[in-house]
Amino acid sequence: MGTFKYGTRVRETSVSTGPGPWALAGAISSYKTVSSALDDTDFSDFIIRLGDDWVSFEGEYDAGTGELAVRSIHETSNGDTDPISFGAGVKDIIMELSAKRAENLLRTDSAQTIPDGGAQARVNIGAAPIVDFERQSALLSIYQSKSFAEYRRGVDRFATGFKGASNTLNGINAGDSSNFTVTPGTAGAMTGYVAPTPGAASLVSQAAGTQITDNFDTNLSAARDGNTNQSNANSATTSSSPTVSRIGIDYGSGVTKVITGMKTWGSNNQGYGASGFTGTVALVLKASNTDPTSTGWTGTTIGIIATFLNSAATNAKETLANPNSTAYRYVWLEITTGSAIGQRVAELEFWEAGTPTNMTLVTASQTADASVSNGRVLIEFDNTAAPTLNTDLTVEVTCDGGSNWASASLSSVSTNGQGGRKIAETVDQSCTGGTSFAARIKTLNNKNVPIYGVSVTVR
């Protein structure tokens, strides 16, 4: 008889159809095979997914056939424990602790035993309290597995990637939260986050840095003299007739700015092209930390102004509310015209991100089966702003529905979260007993700290 085992980063595919068993077809790139973690007849928890259908199950490995058979079903995308007969297609199979098994691990720090899927034998987890490393690993495993299934018990819904249609579906108590902005994740990827609402963008001084150009060679200073209403003769122009030209700023060695937008004006008599040109114009805001004159003007696109037909006008074209959070030394406007007629710019402004507000983010309350009086919070966040834990980023926990909040000290768990993000966890914080628990996260000192995931456990 095999034993329950668990391996990290175990993930394979299968093209088998039906409710199982499924023939394993090999590990996904950078992941490990089931056989690397399990011997013949050993078993573990898995999730199999095809499209929107998934099954969380305890599976037994057959080393002779290379198949994974279902011992028992924990939960399915249909909300029950009935088998799903999968059709044709490549299925994703990942080794992940089931919600029930994980709750047994995380709801207490005392020794635990785990049923082996219905048999009389039991697998002993340990005669001593669970060490932090094991508990954190299990918690992270559940958090990451939520890209495959919607575990609700003891783990907050932030890990769904903020793809919900409302704050409630995203696991946010909007009524008690403030100064937060949700950026939804893409389907199948945990890229969504909640961040402090940015302050108003501000104009970068027109005197800052030095100009950089590609094809622009006449009246260059006109593009940054503060005059937005100028004729072609007084605007920055190209003496040749290219299709694409660039004009921008090098802020200098050691100087970078988080540019989030631009405003630009064409000449008041010829717009962005030569006299009589009424074709299309495309304006793109780009940036880089490498000198673009040496890289063929390759860079990161920060903003795009929708293509328009050229005309003489004094109204600004602008793109200001772009979600860029990266600081760049070089920034420029790329102008593309539908014909090789040359380009003109009367004025060009670059705008930088405003100071982030201080965010308060409260998770949606969850209900425990019995009164609890201790809680832990684990968070995954973008560390670009290098926040000091417990100073710039704080966490509190409540066990009585928010009537009382207890400050919980954070410490770093890992700097190798998904996408290179940082993971931190609080101590096992005592709180006023109750059956409704939640976390309250605060960003302070105007630090921009996007929060990608939150897990809350209680005992």
Are 370 and 348 members of one domain? no
Looking at the domain assignment, is residue 34 inside a domain?
A: yes
Q: Does residue 100 have a pLDDT over 80?
A: no
Looking at the domain assignment, is residue 3 inside a domain?
A: no
212, 250 contact by CB (below 8 A): yes
Are 208 and 346 members of one domain? yes
pLDDT band at 189 (very low <50, low <70, confident <90, very high): very low
Are 322 and 215 members of one domain? yes
**Predicted pLDDT at 3:** 84
Are 221 and 335 members of one domain? yes
Q: What is the mean pLDDT of residues 222-249?
A: 95
pLDDT band at 262 (very low <50, low <70, confident <90, very high): very high
Residue burial 150-170, b: 16+ Cβ < 10 Å; e: rest: ebebbbbbbbbbbbbeebeeb
pLDDT band at 183 (very low <50, low <70, confident <90, very high): confident
Residue found under tokens 């249909």:
78
Rounded distance, CA 4 to CA 123, Å? 7
Rounded distance, CA 14 to CA 94, Å? 11
Residues found in the chain: 459
Interval 34-43: pLDDT, tens:
999 899 999 9
Looking at the domain assignment, is residue 315 inside a domain?
A: yes
Looking at the domain assignment, is residue 72 inside a domain?
A: yes
Are 243 and 120 members of one domain? no
Are 306 and 280 members of one domain? yes
Looking at the domain assignment, is residue 327 inside a domain?
A: yes
pLDDT band at 149 (very low <50, low <70, confident <90, very high): very low
Domain that holds residue 105: 11-145
pLDDT band at 416 (very low <50, low <70, confident <90, very high): low
Are 231 and 299 members of one domain? yes
Q: Does residue 398 have a pLDDT over 90?
A: yes
**Predicted pLDDT at 134:** 47
Q: Angle at CA 426, nearest 5°, toward 129 and 135?
A: 35
Looking at the domain assignment, is residue 150 inside a domain?
A: no
**Predicted pLDDT at 191:** 63
Looking at the domain assignment, is residue 152 inside a domain?
A: no
**Predicted pLDDT at 334:** 95
From 352, 370, 396, the end of a domain falls on: 352
Are 29 and 83 members of one domain? yes
pLDDT band at 170 (very low <50, low <70, confident <90, very high): confident
37, 97 contact by CB (below 8 A): no
**Predicted pLDDT at 315:** 82
**Predicted pLDDT at 188:** 42
From 352, 385, 413, the end of a domain falls on: 352
CATH number at residue 215: 2.60.120.260
369, 438 contact by CB (below 8 A): no
**Predicted pLDDT at 33:** 92
- The phi and psi torsions of 135 (rounded to 5 degrees) equal -65, -45
Q: What is the mean pLDDT of residues 224-235?
A: 94
The mean pLDDT of the chain is 82
Q: What is the mean pLDDT of residues 114-141?
A: 38
From 248, 232, 264, 234, select the one nearest 343 (Cα to Cα).
232
DSSP string covering 2-66: --B---TTBEEEE---BSS-EE---BPTT-B-GGGT--TT-EEEEEEEETTEEEEEEEEEETTTT
193, 451 contact by CB (below 8 A): yes
Could you tell me which residue, 192 or 69, shows the higher pLDDT?
A: 69
Could you tell me which residue, 157 or 246, shows the higher pLDDT?
A: 246
**Predicted pLDDT at 397:** 94
Q: What is the mean pLDDT of residues 256-275?
A: 92
Rounded distance, CA 156 to CA 377, Å? 10
CATH number at residue 438: 2.60.120
* Cross-strand bridge partners of residue 356: 198
Are 209 and 345 members of one domain? yes
From 352, 374, 399, the end of a domain falls on: 352
Are 108 and 174 members of one domain? no
Q: Does residue 323 have a pLDDT over 50?
A: yes
* Cross-strand bridge partners of residue 271: 267
Least confident range from 104-108, 115-119, 280-284, 435-439: namely: 115-119
Interval 371-386: pLDDT, tens:
889 888 888 888 888 9
Q: What is the mean pLDDT of residues 129-143?
A: 47
Interval 417-442: pLDDT, tens:
666 688 888 998 999 999 888 899 99
Could you tell me which residue, 79 or 205, shows the higher pLDDT?
A: 205
From 308, 303, 298, 299, select the one nearest 336 (Cα to Cα).
308
Are 293 and 383 members of one domain? no
From 25, 23, 18, 13, select the one nearest 87 (Cα to Cα).
18
From 455, 396, 401, select the one nearest 423 (Cα to Cα).
455
- Number of structural domains the chain divides into: 3
Are 47 and 123 members of one domain? yes
- The phi and psi torsions of 292 (rounded to 5 degrees) equal -65, -20
**Predicted pLDDT at 6:** 82
Looking at the domain assignment, is residue 383 inside a domain?
A: yes
From 149, 139, 137, 119, select the one nearest 46 (Cα to Cα).
149
**Predicted pLDDT at 102:** 63
Q: What is the mean pLDDT of residues 152-170?
A: 51
Neighbouring C-alpha atoms within 13 Å toward the C-beta of 2: 19
